[in-house]
Amino acid sequence: MKKILSTLLFIAVAFTAQAQSLAAVSGTPVPKKSAQTIAGALVTFTSEWDSGLKYQRKCDAEGFRVVLPQGGYLLTIEAEGYETFRQEIEVDQPNIDLNLIVMLTTEQAAARDAKRKKRVQY
């Protein structure tokens, strides 16, 4: 009986330890000057330690929520007609809400780049 009880306790501790190392990351990609979600955007978390380890989700009307192991990641958000969003992120808390993630359309990004290029020439 003691052996069964100690085995169950060990399993419970193992599951608790594993659950504590997971984190839920959420956010809502939106266009600049709008609060409308970019539904269908592909969200990818790529591990900084193993580039083959990726977690992906498509955004819905509410944004995205991804559960992944804690650690360092490169967050990438891609959507047709928008500049790719990239940000390094440290996932070190059980729940991380990135809130609104502002994305530029390809036209807005081109205008920004043209302004930067103009400033560098002077």
Contact 77, 51 (CB under 8 A): no
54-57 contact pairs (CB < 8 A, 24+): none
Q: Where are the domains of the chain?
A: 20-121
Residue 121 has pLDDT above 70, yes or no: no
| CA angle in degrees (0–180, nearest 5) for 88-90-95 | 125
CATH match of 20-121 with 2.60.40.10: yes
Mean pLDDT of the chain: 87
For the record, the structure tokens of 116 come out as 């930067």
Render pLDDT for 32-50 as a digit per residue (tens, 0 to 9). Answer: 988 899 999 999 999 998 9
Render pLDDT for 79-97 as a digit per residue (tens, 0 to 9). Answer: 999 999 999 999 999 999 9
